[in-house]
Amino acid sequence: MNKLLLLVSVFFIFKSNAQEIAIDKESNNLTLDGNIEFAENNLVEAESLYRKSISKDSLNLKAVYNMGNSFYKNELKDEAINQYRSSIKKTTDKDLLHKSFHNLGNVFMQNEDYQNAVDSFKKALLNKPSDDETRYNYVLAKELLKNQQKNNKKDDKDKKNDKDKKDDKDKKNDKDKKEDKDKKNDKDKKDNKDKKDDKNKKDDKKEEEKKDNKSEKKNDNKENNNPKPNKISPEQLKNLLKAMDNEEKKVQNKVNKNKVKGSPIKNKKDW
């Protein structure tokens, strides 16, 4: 951050060696007005003046670079990145390339994009190897990148462990659900079997009762139609009594006849 402010103040106060191409006078005046607004921290007004300056002369590299500084100071990081890249693309001057890459690295540092910060500071050093602050920022960015990668690996490991735990938990839940489902199915099957057995028992009992009832009815009919031995039907009893009466009468008549024939004869006693 201090490097950026130092570069901006030096660039605004002194004439830049980077601007070798003659630029439009009006464009140059607008750039100077923008520098004044920037120094007074009127960043929106400074940006507006830099835009007008660039519209008058797109080769006014001071305006291109300084607008990137106004974005950076106003914390418009994405706009600053794009503006510094535009400045890098349009110039071949090593001093301006160094400043643009250095400030671009500072933006990436604020975004914690340490890989791009390392790359930017490295390119800044290629254009000005003697700059100690750029070298310091480069070393710092490399160290921060190393820690970030280490933390990312730890985070990835933690995420993997969490995922493995979640997968294990999901598997256990799925297994428990399957076991519960199997138990329920087994219970349903057993209940259905018990119900079926109960129904079969009831059906068998009903069938047995039907058979018993049918057998009893058959036996009753048989007893009615065919009296069992040693049992006398009313008709037989009537006939038997009638026969006994007849027989008794015959015997009585015979007895009576014998009485008549067998009466003693009284003879006169011969004295």
Q: What is the pLDDT of residue 213?
A: 75
Establish if 183 belongs to a structural domain. Answer: no
How far apart are the C-alpha atoms of 13 and 172, rounded to whole Å? Answer: 71
Establish if 193 belongs to a structural domain. Answer: no
pLDDT digits (tens, 9 = 90+) for 148-175: 999 888 777 777 778 888 888 888 888 8
Q: 54 CB contacts (<8 Å, ≥6 apart)?
A: 27, 60, 63, 64, 67
Q: What is the pLDDT of residue 163?
A: 83
Q: Which residues constitute the domain of residue 94?
A: 2-149
Establish if 206 belongs to a structural domain. Answer: no
Establish if 14 belongs to a structural domain. Answer: yes
Establish if 184 belongs to a structural domain. Answer: no
Q: What is the pLDDT of residue 206?
A: 79
The domain total for the chain is: 1
Establish if 199 belongs to a structural domain. Answer: no
Q: Per-residue pLDDT for the chain (271 aa), expressed as one digit of tens each?
A: 444 443 333 333 234 444 445 678 898 999 999 999 999 999 999 999 999 999 999 889 999 999 999 999 999 999 999 999 999 999 999 999 999 999 999 999 999 999 999 999 999 999 999 999 999 999 999 999 999 999 888 777 777 778 888 888 888 888 888 888 888 888 888 888 888 888 888 877 877 777 777 776 666 665 555 555 556 677 887 888 888 888 888 877 777 776 655 555 454 444 3
Establish if 138 belongs to a structural domain. Answer: yes
Domain CATH number, residue 65:
1.25.40.10
Residue 209 burial by CB count (10 A; 0-12/13-18/19+): exposed, middle or buried?
exposed
> Are the C-beta atoms of 85 and 115 separated by less than 8 Å?
no
Establish if 165 belongs to a structural domain. Answer: no
pLDDT digits (tens, 9 = 90+) for 97-141: 999 999 999 999 999 999 999 999 999 999 999 999 999 999 999
Q: What is the pLDDT of residue 236?
A: 81
SS3 labels along the chain: CHHHHHHHHHHHHCCCCCCCCCCCHHHHHHHHHHHHHHHCCCHHHHHHHHHHHHHHCCCCHHHHHHHHHHHHHCCCHHHHHHHHHHHHHHCCCHHHHHHHHHHHHHHHHHCCCHHHHHHHHHHHHHHCCCCHHHHHHHHHHHHHHHHHHHHHHHHHHHHHHHHHHHHHHHHHHHHHHHHHHHHHHHHHHHHHHHHHHHHHHHHHHHHHHHHHHHHHHHHHHHHHHCCCCCCCCHHHHHHHHHHHHHHHHHHHHHHHHHHHHCCCCCCCCCC
pTM for the predicted model, two decimal places: 0.54
Q: What is the pLDDT of residue 51?
A: 95
Q: Which phi-psi region, left, alpha or beta, contains residue 230 (left: φ > 0; alpha: ψ -120 to 50)?
A: left
Query: 10 Å Cβ neighbour count for 48?
Result: 17
